[in-house]
Chain A
Amino acid sequence: MLNVSIYRYNPEVDNEPYMQDFQFDTQGKDLMVLDVLEKLKIEDPSLVFRRSCREGVCGSDGVNISGKNGLACITPLSEAVKGNSLIIRPLPGLPVIRDLVIDMSQFYAQYEKIQPYMINNSPAPAIERLQTPEERAKLDGLYECILCACCSTACPSFWWNPEKFIGPSGLLQAYRFLADSRDTATAERLSKLDDPFSVFRCHGIMNCVQVCPKGLNPTKAIGHIRNMLMRNPT
């Protein structure tokens, strides 16, 4: 039997959070962590977590699994279990609403701050705006972000300044638009990032790279933004 230890907190009932242990029979299968949560919820419907696509593209079920942030639906027990124990906690650094569900408002607010949409005020052509495969390739590794918050909530700089430091996810998206040949607001975007906190609080700790379930590299994107800021002082 696998020992599954889960962070529990229901604000209506509990004065403080606690860890609850469950015994779980994997029947020898290398299940995903989400499968375990789903099965435990049948026994205890009060257990609360987010989930949607269950295939690693919607970004709902970011949790802290045995000490590392990741998506429950694509993390197999073979990677997650240490000793005979699986420990599941909410993503760190943001307020907990209940059990494994965190309040992501601050994370989303940082995303919105970078103006995460195409800006191009020239009249649109009758067909698509043209873009070469090479220009398009610059967006690979950027646009795939699923906003799961695994990276930002693994980042000590974000824990320290969640209201001022954009965080790795938001900055990855900032660079996604800076790098897009179709976007014309480069100067405006850079000037909004040009302060001591938004970008420069990144100290290259690279937790974000280590945990990103999509294999993306926010640190690299942040490096590009730094270079752009230093080359084009605003």
Chain B
Amino acid sequence: MASLRTMSFDAVIVGGGGSGMRAALQLAQSGYKTAVITKVFPTRSHTVSAQGGITCAIASDDPDDRWQWHMYDTVKGSDYIGDQEAIEYMCQTGPEAVFELEHMGLPFSRTEEGRIYQRPFGGQSKDYGAGGQAARTCAAADRTGHALLHTLYQGNLKNKTVFLNEWFAVDIVKNSDNAVVGVVAINIETGECVYVKSKATVFATGGAGRIYASTTNAHICTGDGVGMAIRAGFPVQDIEMWQFHPTGIHGAGTLVTEGCRGEGGYLINKDGERFMERYAPNAKDLAGRDVVARSMVLEILEGRGCGPDGDHVFLKLDHLGEEALNAKLPGILELSRTFAHADPVKEPIPVVPTCHYMMGGIPTNVNGQALTIDREGNDQVIEGFYACGEAACVSVHGANRLGGNSLLDLVVFGRASGIFIENELSKGIDLKDATQEDIDRAMAGLNRINASTEGENAAVLRAELQTIMQNFFGVFRRGDYMQKGVKKLDELRPRIENVYLDDKSNSFNTARIEALELQNLFETAYATAIAAEGRTESRGAHAREDFQERDDENWLCHSIYFPGSKEIGKRAVNFTLKTREPFEPKIRTY
């Protein structure tokens, strides 16, 4: 095997979305040689699709708002398997991180006082649930993700971050100490493979909604970080926890922000009934996303769905008036007109729960350091390896993420990873060099695809995978179904590993990239299936028909999927707060 060209950096960030660019910004500002490897031009990353806002107690809407209330909501929303230390850090640091974004130019919407506009979102309360609905989600109209992502890209341009745009990370390079010392990456335009060597490798690779047939996620959300981590033998955490967003546009899957309900919209069934009043008498349409999504599916299953096939419900907005809709939800008007052929000013939008967010991921501590679990069950830091954003499981979302918390997560922990790595670099990092063999190992998967002479088409295999996940691991889950699903995945594995790449050309060969992405999708899906089948309870987004109750005695813990044995283990949830007594698990109602 001829040796690859090597490029060396102090820090390499894989992924040019919100968390990756926030981490990169931190490191570039302090002068470290930092590169971002991103398979799309940074502003094409999926953060761009976030609509409603970034939840944070900046005390604009309510001058008495407190980050502790946000912390309470987030712990409750997580169904008590979010790590409280991480949630505390996120909610407390949040305002500083949001103000930094504003100082960088993020065009937030404004209040009459000139402060950042905040809107109500699901699961938000004042006074630890006792003070009614809060309005805590900072918004730039309904284009907050776009505004945030562009602002971060601009900040990185200002600070001269090196961008390896349209490069795809193939696999992790580990040295003989099992430390991560960079990745092998392919320059999509030329097809050249390079060993990108780094003292700190940060995975900010986003989610993997494309494991499902119906998803709000971009085509590019293929679980690349999770796939690479699993192939390197590292565990993933709570990967069975997938959020189904209540309001994906029926048929198209595109997202309609929860901000619609925050601004006063509500869901109706075919009888025109505002059915959430029955399921969540207090919060109604602004209950947790898991609760709303399940209620919608129950309405549909019980014959109260809308449309000729009764397979969706309606989101009603027309009563808010054209002027308010134009001012607050202009992007939604566009999306609905384009993809649902419905003008929300006059008629409701057909919506259905749609796969939206991966709560699980690579387990990390609050510094972004990726973790593995040793034989005694203790956390062990993986040297050189970091993760943040949706790819990571730090875990602030536990079993169910609150709306607006993903943007906060990616900014706060992208920043935290950057700060920690900055400090480590200043002290000096000394990792053993990779040998030729170590690098060759990271090339094995790509070499196999390049050498393929027969096998099946990646797109066909991908569709099959997505159908299995949609049918056997959706909103409601059942043991015997899931066992069938696992069996089907077992049968699919060799076919996906033997995917056929017909076009071996080097120049901008997206078929090769899709064949590689398929491997990542599969590993993410397989881990999801094993963990979902293994967690014998219902909690947050994980709803089982055969185990309908939450089981705190056995499952008030993280699941950990070990790639070697393909089995799941358990990891304790963190209940240590620095500023107060921990929040003890309670029955979760809205």
Contact = CB atoms under 8 A, between A and B. Distances in A.
A52 B103 contact: no
Contact of A54 (B58, B110, B218): B218
Contacts of B339: 55
Tell me what chain A mostly uses at the interface: helix, strand, loop, or mixed.
Answer: loop
A22 interface: no
Given A57-B48, A117-B155, A117-B157, A10 B507 contact: yes
B263 interface: no
A230 interface: no
Contacts of B43: 58-59, 146-147
B115 A128 contact: yes
A53 B338 CA distance: 14
Contacts of B334: 56
B48 A144 contact: no
A113 to B, nearest CB: 11
Given A53-B48, A57-B146, A143-B107, A41 B509 contact: no
A110 interface: no
Interface string B241-264: 000000000001011000000000
A101 interface: yes
Given A10-B505, A53-B218, A136 B459 contact: no
A45 B103 contact: no
Interface in B511-566: 511, 514
Given A131-B114, A136-B107, A55 B49 contact: yes
B44 A58 contact: yes
B458 A45 contact: yes
Nearest to A101: B508
B46 interface: yes
Interface in B42-69: 43-46, 48-49, 58
A58 B49 contact: yes
Contacts of B580: none
Assign chain B's interface to a size class.
Answer: 35 or more
Contacts of B514: 45
Contact of B110 (A76, A97, A136): A136
Q: Which of A104, A128, A135, A143 has the most CB of B within 10 A?
A: A128
A198 B116 CA distance: 34
Interface string A3-47: 000000011110000000000000000000000000001100110
Contacts of A49: 510
Interface string A95-114: 00111010010001000100
Contacts of A132: 110, 112, 114
Interface in B198-246: 218-220
Contacts of B220: 52
B373 interface: no
B154 interface: yes
A139 B458 CA distance: 43
A163 interface: no
A53 B44 contact: yes
Interface string B105-118: 10111111111100
Given A54-B219, A56-B334, A98-B507, A117 B112 contact: no
A128 B103 contact: yes
Assign chain A's interface to a size class.
Answer: 35 or more
Contacts of B105: 117-118, 177, 180, 182-183
A129 interface: yes
B147 A143 contact: yes
B438 interface: no
B583 interface: no
Contacts of A182: 105
A11 B48 CA distance: 32
A228 interface: no
B338 to A, nearest CB: 5
Contact of A97 (B41, B189, B338): B189
Given A41-B459, A128-B58, A51 B502 contact: no
B104 A117 contact: yes
A127 B58 contact: yes
A76 to B, nearest CB: 8
Contacts of B432: none
A209 to B, nearest CB: 17
B501 to A, nearest CB: 8
B40 interface: yes
B335 interface: yes
Contact of B108 (A112, A128, A146): A128
A50 B219 CA distance: 10
B505 A12 contact: yes
Contacts of A76: 338
A200 to B, nearest CB: 25
Which 4 pairs between the two chains have the least Cβ-Cβ distance?
A: A118-B105, A130-B114, A45-B511, A117-B154
